[in-house]
Structure 1
Amino acid sequence: MKNIVLAAAIATALSSVPMGAFAASPNSDVAQIREQLEGLMKRVDKLEQENTELKQENEALKATDEKLQANDDYLKTEARGLRKETAQQAVEVAKTKGTDWASKVAITGDMRYRYEYISDDTLSSPTGVPAADRYRDRIRARLAVTAKPTDNITVGIGMTTTEGSDPRSGNQSLKDVFTKKAFDLDLAYFDWKFASWGNLIGGKMKQPFVKPGQSLFWDNDITPEGLALGFQSGMFFGTAYNYWLLENSGAENTRTADTMLHGAQLGMRLPMGSASSLMLEAHYYDLSAAQGRAAVYNNNSNNNTFDTIVVSGVNTTVLRYDYEVISVGAEFSTLFGALPFTVWAEGAQNQDVSDEDTAWGVGFLFGKASNNRTWEAGVGYQKVEKDALYAQLIDSDFAGGFSDNEGFVFRGAYTPVKNWTLNATYFLNKRNAELANSGLQTDVDYDRLQLDFNVKF
């Protein structure tokens, strides 16, 4: 290439010199031509060098382009892989979060349909004629959510049907031309397990203390409000609580002390062989700042002794006594073959009165209606004198929820499949069993039959 360019340059240089010039001054012309040729050769060398450099740069750019293209293909492949991996990780994170949420939150509830028959000889119509027997259908629905925001704290919120916000009942009678039924707050509490042996509960809570067998000294539907401290260590257990019943405020010259319920329980569970155990407990509560005040709920003493005073021109029923109640209970559990058997007994006495101050109960339960095709049957007997217990806490079905009662309760249940139970309960009671200083007849019969269809989830 270089020789071709040089020959072309020489030919061009020679053609530019007139023929006569060679004859006139040959030496000077040849020197001039040589100088021109040397200049052309330098230019050709420079061009050749520049051409070589351009070729090298072009090769380098081509290699760089190929490398960039390879990198681009790699990055595209990696991006597709990352998108797929990210999507998979997002799915796994969602699954993990869902599993984590599900492990910390539980939703439970139950629904009960009840047929009920009541015969109460203490009731009379406005004309003094004995009231007719009562027949009614009732429903109860409950829904509760419990969550564990931390490993040692549980929070619970529960709702229940109710009729008139009765603290001892979640039932709603079927009536009033299909009207909507109230669904009220039943539980709102925290349970802080601050140590392996102890926990603190605050809010509107389930009853934190232990009751022997089928005890009726406390109604099962009551959800007390306040603070409770519990402990469990080996075979020992206990609870101390401080509950608010009324909060009062007013002028300094008025009575503003809050009506409260203070109490404590201590107990133990003793193993007796491989399949038997004995539970013993002692319980004390004090109804403070209630004496001389209107009964807490619905101005009804529920047969506790009361006085009538005039408040702002209105006759008002007030409690005559305080209620400082000590109770003890025992429960023995064992097996008859494969069937559970429990027998229990309890007694209580109000320390603030000297008469009509004692309550006691006994009973047994054979079997346990819990799993598929299981059943249970039991009998209990109870006697509660007029001022032995604060009557607004006792079972609302036995003798209609009034003190000064005695009688039997017969129970039976069958579970055809798990979470579905059929119950039958019959109360054969007497009201006003030892009623004094009134014109009502004593030993008045009170009968109550309940047939329940229960489903829980």
Structure 2
Amino acid sequence: MKLRGRGYGGGGSTTTGARLSVALVTLGLSCATGAHAQSLETQAATGAAAPTESTVINLINLLVKRGVLTQQNANDLIREARAETAQAKAASGRPVAAGAAGFAGAAVVNAPTQPGDVAVPYVPQVVRDQIRDQVKQEVVAQAKAENWAQPNTFPDWVSRIKLDGDLRVRDEFHFYGSRNANNVTNFAAINQGGGFDINGNTNTTQLPTQNTTQNRNNLERYRARLGVTALLSDEFSAGIQLASGNDNGPVSTTATAGGGFAKKNIWLNKAFFRYQPNSWLNVVAGRFDNPFFTSDLLFSNDLEMDGLAASFRHALPINPDVTLFGTFGVFPIQYTSENFPSNSTSKVGSDTKWMFGAQVGAEWKINQQNRLKGALAYYDYQNMRGTLSSPCALYLGATNCSTDNEAPAFLQGGNTLVALRNIVQNPNLAPGMTPEPQLFGLAYNYRLLDIKAQWDTVLADRVKVRLDGEFVRNLAYNTNKAFGAASLPVNNYEATTVNASQSDYRSGPNGYLAKVTFGEPEPSTKGQWNFSVAYKYLQPDATLDAFNDPDFHLGGTNARGYILGASYAVARDTWLSARYLSAKEVYGPPVSIDVLQIELNARF
């Protein structure tokens, strides 16, 4: 007899072990004697040796020998059985068969009438069931309390927590064209520095410029992300994610090695609540993944969005192979400080920059090998266009002008910009000798119409193929409004100064992407692979340069070129990949930038 558990054979609960042993012995003997009553009577009639109290004792000793009972438990069991036998004998006024000792509710069938007869105890089925249920309840209760009956289970809250993450290690190269211009202004650096004096009479320092000539080799970079999602109820969940990154910019969580082996920053990348009352509706609030069906033509793959979004997905009742989907959301991009300007008693009112997004689409499963998905989206950016400030007398000690808050919080490059400060000349200085520390804002509003399509198919019943296409147009693009401002737009001139004429200006509102992928789009099983070819074209003001892919042309708009990529899974959810991105300017000074990335990726 082998019994798993605690409290038997040394250690554990002696009381529970004794109870269980009594019940097991009782149940075993009662079932045996009840089932073989007739057989025992037959043995008695033939003069066979009758079982006595020693039979029970021998069984108990056997349990001790097998390690089921301790010797102390065995002694207690024998003493308890003899005591109950004596009590039953005194209560009935007649002898009680030794074999029936300790059986509550047992009755003697065919009591002995002559020497050699055997008294057979009979335990009714209902009593047997009660004994079995009591033993089961006691054992299960102890098992749950001591957590030994189910060693591979965990507390309830553990089953409601999900961990996920990914890791990427990359070797990256930047190659610049030999004919590149070397004086491309870095307007993002100007704004981050709080302004730059553009008056050549008062500041002979070179404007901040971008590197466009010196290659960068063997840039070791890595990305690490770890998230936790908790199921709060059938409808609610909550999640957070931490991620690496060089800075708090929105488009990348990639960190660059070096810095004397200094530790790297960890940022809060996600923080959200999710409400899903049924299978087709999903509402999320906080900071979360991009909920729209789109590509890095508009939004970087690492971009997380702040705000509120509601998505739906539902198959057509008349044709389950066709599924409708859509997303609607509102996203705050930049808030105005409550105390702006800080050095004035007159504060500027709320001028929050927002994005309102709406997308509807359909997915059609044509057959087992063909699936078509398409969507139409509209993204309306509010209060993005910069305006010239009221006259700003910085020479009197002012540290801000009235529209400084309209400078974008983040820029990559490509969008047309305008000067924001209307700086008043110092009458105590000669004309043209007043410093002009300038900030820059966007010259256009952005109301984007986006069309995205994707077709999955299989060639020769073997090779998966995915075709992607996307087109975007900025419906708010209007050069008359840009040049109607008090300051001329800058950024994409054929000339290299910030004071060029309108005849030198080039821009545009359109962009598109075409891509073909052979193999598994997202390799996850060892041996899976893919190869892709893409062409991207993005005019300067087709979309906001702040949010799109940071790798193609090293980020922003005003870029065109091709992308080659390949991936191979070396293990489950682990794959090697390589990309070569070759891009140059659409308009303006020549800036050709090629990027090579070799990576090892894993997700869990």
Give 1:282-297 correspondences, 5 Å limit.
Answer: 282-292=376-386, 294-297=406-409
Matches of 2:87 and 2:447 in 1, distance apart? Answer: 99
Which residue, 304, 308, 311 being the options, matches 2:415? 304
Matches of 1:120 and 1:294 in 2, distance apart? Answer: 33
TM-score (norm 2): 0.58
Which residue, 72, 97, 101 being the options, matches 2:157? 101
Q: Is 1:348 matched up with 2:472?
A: yes
Against the structure 1 CA distance between its residues 64 and 455, is the aligned structure 2 distance closer, same or farther, given a 3 Å change threshold? same
Identity, in percent, stands at: 23
Give 1:222-261 correspondences, 5 Å limit.
Answer: 222-234=303-315, 235-248=323-336, 249-250=338-339, 254-261=348-355
Alignment RMSD (CA, Å): 3.0
Partner residue, 1:133: 215
In structure 2, what residue type is equivalent to 1:391?
D
Give the Å deviation of 1:218. 1.2
Instruction: Give 3-state SS (helix, strand or coil) of 1:150's partner.
Output: coil
Moved more, 242-251 or 360-369: 242-251
| TM-superposition CA deviations, 1:403-449 (whole Å, max 9, x none) | 11100011100002111110100001112x213xxxxx23x211000
Against the structure 1 CA distance between its residues 92 and 286, is the aligned structure 2 distance closer, same or farther, given a 3 Å change threshold? farther
Q: Is 1:449 matched up with 2:596?
A: yes
| TM-superposition CA deviations, 1:172-196 (whole Å, max 9, x none) | 1111101110011111111111233
Give 1:182-221 correspondences, 5 Å limit.
Answer: 182-211=265-294, 215-221=296-302
In structure 1, what residue type is equivalent to 2:456?
S
8 Å contact 1:201–1:228 — kept in the other structure? yes
Q: Is 1:385 matched up with 2:532?
A: no
Moved more, 369-378 or 309-318: 309-318
8 Å contact 1:215–1:361 — kept in the other structure? no
In structure 2, what residue type is equivalent to 1:411?
G
Moved more, 347-356 or 115-124: 115-124
Moved more, 170-179 or 254-263: 254-263
Partner residue, 2:568: 414
Against the structure 1 CA distance between its residues 79 and 334, is the aligned structure 2 distance closer, same or farther, given a 3 Å change threshold? closer
8 Å contact 1:114–1:137 — kept in the other structure? yes
Give the Å deviation of 1:170. 0.8
Which residue, 512, 516, 528 being the options, matches 1:374? 528
Matches of 2:252 and 2:472 in 1, distance apart? Answer: 24
In structure 2, what residue type is equivalent to 1:351?
L
In structure 2, what residue type is equivalent to 1:452?
E
Moved more, 115-124 or 337-346: 115-124
8 Å contact 2:172–2:220 — kept in the other structure? yes
Q: Is 1:159 matched up with 2:270?
A: no
Partner residue, 1:149: 232
Matches of 1:130 and 1:231 in 2, distance apart? Answer: 45
Matches of 2:324 and 2:383 in 1, distance apart? Answer: 32
8 Å contact 1:250–1:256 — kept in the other structure? no
| TM-superposition CA deviations, 1:72-106 (whole Å, max 9, x none) | x9xxxx99997654321322797697264343211
Partner residue, 1:86: 141
8 Å contact 2:296–2:548 — kept in the other structure? no
Which residue, 503, 511, 516 being the options, matches 1:364? 516
Instruction: Give 3-state SS (helix, strand or coil) of 2:213's partner.
Output: coil
In structure 2, what residue type is equivalent to 1:310?
R
Matches of 1:196 and 1:376 in 2, distance apart? Answer: 32
Which residue, 444, 447, 451 being the options, matches 1:324? 447
Give the Å deviation of 1:229. 0.8
Matches of 2:260 and 2:309 in 1, distance apart? Answer: 42
Give the Å deviation of 1:309. 2.6
Give the Å deviation of 1:277. 1.1
Aligned length: 380
Structure 2 unaligned blocks of 5 or more? 1-85, 92-100, 105-132, 184-205, 316-322, 341-345, 387-404, 424-435, 479-506
8 Å contact 1:301–1:319 — kept in the other structure? no
Of Structure 1 and Structure 2, which has the larger fraction of its residues in strand?
1
* Bigger Rg, which one: 1
Matches of 1:130 and 1:191 in 2, distance apart? Answer: 44
TM-score (norm 1): 0.76
Instruction: Give 3-state SS (helix, strand or coil) of 2:232's partner.
Output: strand
Against the structure 1 CA distance between its residues 295 and 415, is the aligned structure 2 distance closer, same or farther, given a 3 Å change threshold? farther
Instruction: Give 3-state SS (helix, strand or coil) of 2:157's partner.
Output: helix
In structure 2, what residue type is equivalent to 1:348?
V
Give the Å deviation of 1:64. 11
Against the structure 1 CA distance between its residues 123 and 245, is the aligned structure 2 distance closer, same or farther, given a 3 Å change threshold? farther
In structure 2, what residue type is equivalent to 1:87?
Q
Give the Å deviation of 1:244. 1.1
8 Å contact 2:356–2:379 — kept in the other structure? yes
Give the Å deviation of 1:295. 4.5
Against the structure 1 CA distance between its residues 203 and 66, is the aligned structure 2 distance closer, same or farther, given a 3 Å change threshold? farther
Matches of 2:595 and 2:248 in 1, distance apart? Answer: 22
Moved more, 99-108 or 370-379: 99-108
